Amino acid sequence: MTERPTAPTSRTRPGPRLSEAFEFARQIHDGQLRKGTTIPYITHPLAVCALALTFGATEDEAIAALLHDSAEDGGGKAVLDDIRKTFGPEVEGIVRACSDSLTDDPDQKAPWHERKLHHLEGLASSDRPVRLVAASDKLHNLHSILTDLRAEGPNLWNRFKAGPKDQLWYYTSCLALLGDDSTEPWSSPLREAVEALRAQLEP
């Protein structure tokens, strides 16, 4: 009798904690939109979580992916404290490392270049869970930028606090830190996305 192949199983099965994290993120980002669009902001953490899961995220990593912008855009260190109490120190640590600002008021962030340099310094010494979530975040942002750049052209950059040259520098720097190990599942798609952005900006 021929043995029937078994269906591949996912490393992480979505459970109640992931549902709780979605509700946490939904409340934090309620009313927020993606820059210059009418797209609800919650679509971004959902997409980042989906990417993280395709890259083999654990439950804690998937939860951190859903919450990666919650502290940065929703209340700073007080939100981190809530995340730690609700989801544990590992999730809180990943979210902290993925945040480039922890001010209480997201409108009072430090200048863009200063924040990004500080964030890159942190990524340079980050562990794999942080790199997985950060790479998923950068990859979705790049996909969004590329889609809108092709549709809108250079007017797209009016949405951002940094222009195309600085954006390319930032994502190239992220690639150097997050995509150096070619065995990681996010390495090739991240590299392809950065190169696609470079091709758009440096034809």
Calculate helix-pair angle for 187-201, 164-178, nearest 10 degrees.
Answer: 160
Tokens of 80: 């981190």
Calculate helix-pair angle for 89-98, 128-152, nearest 10 degrees.
Answer: 40
Closest CA to 175 of 161, 192, 157: 192
Distance of alpha carbon 155 from alpha carbon 139, whole angstroms = 21
Which stretches of 16-88 are DSSP H helices? Answer: 16-28, 43-54, 59-67, 70-74, 77-87
Residue 7, φ and ψ in degrees, nearest 5 = -70, 140
**pTM exceeds cut of 0.85:** yes
Tokens of 119: 């964030």
Tell me the pLDDT tens digit for each residue of 124-148: 999 999 999 999 999 999 999 999 9
* 20 pLDDT more than 70: yes
Task: Tell me what pLDDT residue 4 has.
Answer: 38
Full set of structural domains in the chain with CATH? 16-201 (1.10.3210.10)
Q: What's the rounded mean pLDDT across residues 14-38?
A: 92
Residue-by-residue DSSP string for 168-179: HHHHHHHHHHHS
Residue 19: band (very low, low, confident or very high) from pLDDT cuts 50, 70, 90: very high
CB proximity list for 50: less than 8 A, separation 6 or greater: none
* 7 pLDDT more than 70: no
Task: Tell me what pLDDT residue 11 has.
Answer: 60
What CA–CA distances, in Å, run from 57 to 43, 105, 195? Answer: 19, 30, 25
